[in-house]
Amino acid sequence: MMKVIWINMSNSSILLKFALRIFKLMLSKACQYAIRAALYLAIHSSETQKVGVKEMASSLEIPQHFLGKTLQQLARYHLISSVKGPNGGLYLIHI
């Protein structure tokens, strides 16, 4: 049984590294990238403040093309939302 500890941190990179360390051995690269992207969106986005794939890929050090394909799958399952256009980007859908 895995013990879950909630830590309130202001530094998002520490949180992302913590999540990656837990799942690194258990999940594929695609799953790791999806989790990292979802955490990044949870911290840095909202309906009024969207994040672009290019920005996210450089911040997370993930290949942009691969991240784009992974985010398309998350959008297909309605976990994230994408908006096209000059003010477009991605944000996490709050249920």
Which of the two residues, 14 and 61, has the higher pLDDT score?
61
pLDDT in tens, 65-94: 999 999 999 899 888 888 898 888 888 887
What local confidence, expressed as pLDDT, does residue 86 receive?
85
What local confidence, expressed as pLDDT, does residue 1 receive?
41
List of residues 6+ apart from 90 with CB closer than 8 A: 41, 45, 50, 51, 52, 53, 56, 71, 75, 80, 81, 82, 83
Per-residue tokens: 52: 């672009």
**How long a stretch of residues is the chain?**
95
pLDDT in tens, 1-48: 444 444 454 556 666 677 667 766 677 888 888 988 988 998 888 888
